[in-house]
Amino acid sequence: MSATKNSESFLKALSKMDFADYFPQYTALSKKQFLNRDLKISPRLHQQWKELGITPSVETATSKGVKREWVKLDFVEFLWMKIVISLRELGYPYEDIKKAKEFLFTPHDLGISMDRAKEDPELINGLLDHYTKNTQSDEMKTVLIEALKNPVIIDKISSLFSKQRPLLELIVFEAIDKKKSEIGIGFFEKGECLPFQWDLLVTFDKWGAGINKDDVLNNTIRKPHIYISVTKFIIDFIAEDDKRGRELIFSILNEEEKMLLRELKNKDYKNITLNYDKGTDTKIIKTEREKKIKESEIKDFIKNIVFAPNCKTTYTKTIKGDLIINTISTKKLNT
């Protein structure tokens, strides 16, 4: 079959597809797979919070012949419950948590309409690259460019991205996309809350003319608030590497991050050495004498180095069967 015929067949099949099934990251994030035990809270406490209106509206599953219900959460709902736990530990009032929840779960339209897709095809192309983790071959990209000229296909794709999403979901997606940044939420009095992206906050005086430094500070970080890092929750989740969440973990990593984590988990290496800052500090997480990899060292490495904002990581495999990982500090963000 010729390339033209191949393209025609692909375009015909593409027009009948449900595109939501072809975005592994979104599919994984939307999967209902987390239970109360993953949060380390009791069913009784969850029921209390449910009655107070601070839990998300979630699906429940009941075992046959058993009255007990299992609440299932997707990743965004799971992170919200982690936020609730942290807020309660810090004494944030239930009433304020409820107001914050209503705000963060308010649907927001992504605004990617069919008309906008026609005007700016690169917008949809960029979304495809992002949600498929840029894994298409050059040949497939060429076909996709042609596909994006088809109004039926544009309509299907734009309808997927024009659906309304909760604000918290958008914050989580941003934090996943920019794991080397620091993204979180500031919780103020009376349930007021505000997304914080620190890379932007520290450069607000460069946003443009008319930006008043004191106004920005007085309305954000100078106001009494509790800051919750969404980035930290995501990095902690990746570092824990729970088997049930492994599909999700790999869907939110880029190819370079996946390769490094696979190497870290590889038990076949005789020795695994971490060199920090060009060898000024060295840690051994596995030696030939030890059969087990030091999981605590791996978790610490993932949390503090792999996704650190000013750090670049490279690794080499030696012919002796060793893995040597080097970290290099890069230029810090100018404030």
Question: pLDDT class for 334, splitting at 50, 70, 90?
Answer: very low
The DSSP result for 174-191, as a single string, is HHHHTTTS-EEEEE-GGG
According to the model, what pLDDT value does residue 335 have? 35
Q: Can you tell me the distance from the alpha carbon of 99 to that of 308, in angstroms, rounded to the nearest whole number?
A: 33
Q: Taking each helix axis from N to C terminus, what angle separates 94-104 and 75-89, rounded to the nearest 10 degrees?
A: 150
- What pTM was computed for the model? 0.73
Phi, psi of 6 (to 5 degrees): -60, -45
Task: Give the model confidence (pLDDT) of 153-173 as tens digits.
Answer: 666 666 555 556 788 988 888
Q: Can you tell me the distance from the alpha carbon of 170 to that of 257, in angstroms, rounded to the nearest whole number?
A: 22
Planar angle of CA 307, 311, 314, nearest 5 degrees = 90
Q: Which residue has the tokens 């009784």?
A: 44
Weakest-pLDDT range from 2-6, 78-82, 86-90, 218-222? 2-6
Q: What share of the chain is helix, strand, coil (3-state, %, to 5)?
A: 50, 15, 30
Question: pLDDT class for 88, splitting at 50, 70, 90?
Answer: very high
Q: Using CA of residue 234, residue 239, residue 242, residue 243, what is the dihedral sign?
A: positive
How many angstroms from the chain centroid is the CA of residue 84? Answer: 18
Weakest-pLDDT range from 2-6, 116-120, 199-203, 299-303? 2-6
Q: Can you tell me the distance from the alpha carbon of 62 to that of 180, in angstroms, rounded to the nearest whole number?
A: 40
Which among 215, 195, 193 has a CA at the least distance from the CA of 205?
215
Contact 167, 104 (CB under 8 A): yes
pLDDT for 179 beyond 80: yes
